[in-house]
Amino acid sequence: MKKLSGDPFPDAKADHWQRFPLQDIEGLRNAVLGADLDAVQMAGRKIGGSLAFSTYDGVILSSGFIAGNAMARGVLSDAAVTVGIVLSQVGGFRVCLRQAPEGTVGILLPGCEVDVLCAPGSMYVTATLDLRRLEDGLGRRCLQSAVHSKPLAQEKLNELREALLRVHLGEETEAGVHIGSTMLRAVISHYANDRGTTTASRPSSYETIVRLAQQYIDRHLASPISITDITTACGSSRRTLYRAFLEVLGDTPNHYLRRLRLHRIRRDLMAVDQLATISASAKKWGIAEHGRMSGWYQELFGEKPSATVAAQSLRAISRAWF
């Protein structure tokens, strides 16, 4: 594929970003604007930080500064390609369970799923755009979603990180630094200098075990699941399973399973078109003891299930009134 003449990502006059504080785990569903991801509060620090968005010549730009432990997963876009860069990962950053150091560059094709694990101090930027436009800039077809085998050049990484940190701190970006064009030009240059497009190494045995466990849990989340069921699905021992979860997710299999179920209960209670009762939702997702479920729920989300129901009812009344 021949690269088109001219600059596919020219400079713009201004870089206007809108910043939104991350006040609860639901906010992370918009980690990439328009994606509506499945967000999960993981073990460790509660979610915090901010998200910021901008547009640039038909490109949607999203950035996050994450001050907590969380996972977001799902399809970023059904119709467009998404380019992402890990700008910082003080406490760790994983993409599809793989360690993603600072400067990691990835391309996700339309309709492809991804999962991201963030720790406090993580910062990223993404650009969502038409696939043909990206291919025109690269001068070749993008045949698969992949992570580049080498990190972005340090100079460009520093420039983007410093500019977006100012955005997340609520400051204006430095005059002359247009984040959108700088990012996309850096990605184009990165792939032009080194045509590698795949990850540098295979998943570790622990990453493979956790991936198989996640797939089993996702398929059977509404059914009884034992640790023996998970070890059988993964082909691992109980001890290895626990070690893998602690290494990759920072959590035990039991707590991870409960965490997912509590998020499903919360999603039911917050649904606009579904009047779910607390007991019915808890039973649906395999947590029969209402008293213990209420305590776990409050520990995870900072409020009792009844408070979630009350807040959702108030929102429904407000929508009907206005």
Mean pLDDT of 48-56: 95
pTM score, whole prediction: 0.91
Q: Enumerate domains of the chain plus CATH numbers.
A: 18-193 (2.60.120.10), 205-321 (1.10.10.60)
| pLDDT tier, 322 (very low <50, low <70, confident <90, very high otherwise) | very low
pLDDT at 318 (0 to 100): 46
pLDDT at 112 (0 to 100): 95
For residue 95, give the H/E element and its range: strand 93-95
Mean pLDDT of 155-164: 94
Q: Cα–Cα distance between 258 and 255 in angstroms, integer?
A: 5
pLDDT at 105 (0 to 100): 96
Q: Is the pLDDT of residue 186 over 60?
A: yes
pLDDT at 72 (0 to 100): 98
Whether 53 and 61 have beta carbons less than 8 Å apart is answered as: yes
List CB contacts of 154: < 8 A, sequence separation 6 or more: 103
> For the segment 83-107, what is each residue's pLDDT rounded down to a tens digit?
999 999 988 899 999 999 999 999 9
pLDDT at 320 (0 to 100): 46
